[in-house]
Structure 1
Amino acid sequence: MILQDYPIIEFDPERQAIIEAGEHLKRVDGLPEHCVICFFQDVIDHFVEQGLAKEIFVLRSEMGPRSLYRLELGLDGPVTLMHPGIGGPMAAAAVEQAIALGSTKFVACGGAGVLDREIQVGHLVVPTAAIRDEGTSYHYLPPGREVLPSPEAVRAIETVLARHHVDYLRAKTWTTDGVFRETRAKTALRRSEGCLTVEMEAASMFAVAQFRDVPLGQILYGGDNLDAEQ
């Protein structure tokens, strides 16, 4: 390793880390290979209450238990369902753990702030790239401005949305660690780069997926408006 001016650009391409999720977690029998990473706990709770999602594994940490579920909706087969926690580090760790447990294909569904006042609350955005204004992705990929989702996953998402006649937008998203440091100047800069949304996890998850060579894409639900006058 070479000491750089800034620690965040000291990327180490070494594949083997001191702590590997795959060395501490065993594959779970019956865990579906397709995994939905859901940031909406109320949605997960609904599926559990309806008896559609059955707990199949529990991850434990200082924050308490975090469940993975086997969700069966009678469609193309069961999927793993999990809440990854909030923020890039937790989401990245959740993807790592899910891979270790046996899931290998991912779609994430989460909320985001919108950077264009014309986008209505609830409108869907499919990220085509994420601006890496966070820290986690730099531990998985060399320094760079953007990271892409898996083309395979994006195609699958768009196919399903089109099949169900759901309107959506394609755009870059801005991933940040500073939820209370989204200034007007920086928001304008990100808009000029083609971002329509801001969130805290996409770049981190896309980077893990590239590093681990698994497909992962995301659907974002437009929420609070950062382009409002007040």
Structure 2
Amino acid sequence: MDLPLLEDDLGRPALLDPHRVVPRGVTLPERAVLCFFPEVVAAVDPVRTVHLSSELGPWPVHVVEVDGAEVAVVQPGVGAPLSVIFFEELVALGVRAAVAVGGAGSLVPELTVGHAVVVGSALRDEGTSFHYLPAGRVVEADPAGIAALVAALGNVPHVVARTWTTDAVFRETRSRVERRVAEDCVVVDMEASALIAVARHRDVRLAHLLFAGDSLAGEEWEHRGWTRAADVRAALYGIACDAATIL
């Protein structure tokens, strides 16, 4: 089947470059944290804040201090397309290394709520990454990003593993979950493979830390109260900030 996603024009320049839409005269620190926990981002104490433009309205990017270093912090929306737009704009404003931190669904029962997962690779079941990298089933994460997160986690229990990145949160069928587990995926998310692809395309460093949240490991979906685990979410954000300073 001749799918548009398989068209090979990756080497050609885009008609719209992110430099053309970011605010003029604004620069950001070289390091950033893409935090998918909105309540955590809302609670930061910024040194300054700049705003990106979008159809969602002005979108804040906070600059915070972490151990004397400045780090840009943004909540990059939900899903691969939107998070990639904001990631691209951060890179256009000077970011050269980023750590993403967010939630994921557990595919295996041993990952209880709050368990930390360092993305070692991602299965590409989304559309955005195919506009940045040649077609392929799995994309490997940046080894430097993995190392930075493992160092920042220290004694915090974690696994380095594969995630299944999908666009269709309401089409995660039992048979598809079983196939993904057979391919060594332990969690499912909506952004990882696309962010890895952008980082590789733009030659910037990236690490991705996931929080095991709801569960698809049983016969029925379980929420498990993962959005209310405020302390764990805040702690993982702090770990992501520490990793950003050494990435």
Q: Give the structure-2-normalised TM-score.
A: 0.85
* Equivalent in 16, 25, 28 of residue 26 of structure 2: 28
User: Given residue 198 of structure 1, which amino acid in structure 2 is its aligned partner?
Assistant: V
**Which range moved further: 184-193 or 11-20?**
11-20
Q: What does residue range 28-177 of structure 1 map to in structure 2 within 5 Å?
A: 28-29=26-27, 31-47=28-44, 52-73=45-66, 75-162=67-154, 165-177=155-167
- The one-character-per-residue Cα deviations of 1:77-122 (angstroms, maximum 9, x if unpaired) are 1200001111000111111000011111000000000101121100
In structure 1, C-alpha distance between the alignment counterparts of 2:6 and 2:213, rounded to whole Å: 32
- The one-character-per-residue Cα deviations of 1:194-226 (angstroms, maximum 9, x if unpaired) are 100101000110000000010111000000010
Gaps of 5+ in 2: 221-247
In structure 1, C-alpha distance between the alignment counterparts of 2:31 and 2:12, rounded to whole Å: 24
1:55–1:67 CA contact under 8 A, matched in 2: no
Task: Count how many residue pairs are aligned between Structure 1 and Structure 2.
Answer: 219
Counterpart secondary structure, 2:209: strand
Question: Going by fraction, where is helix more abundant, 1 or 2?
Answer: 2
RMSD (Å), alpha carbons = 1.4
In structure 1, C-alpha distance between the alignment counterparts of 2:36 and 2:21, rounded to whole Å: 25
User: Given residue 211 of structure 1, which amino acid in structure 2 is its aligned partner?
Assistant: H
User: Given residue 119 of structure 1, which amino acid in structure 2 is its aligned partner?
Assistant: L
Q: Give the structure-1-normalised TM-score.
A: 0.91
Deviation at 1:11, TM superposition (A): 2.9
Gaps of 5+ in 1: none
Residues 89 and 27 of structure 1: CA distance in aligned 2, closer, same or farther (over 3 Å): farther
Counterpart secondary structure, 1:53: coil
* Equivalent in 180, 196, 220 of residue 170 of structure 2: 180
Deviation at 1:148, TM superposition (A): 1.8
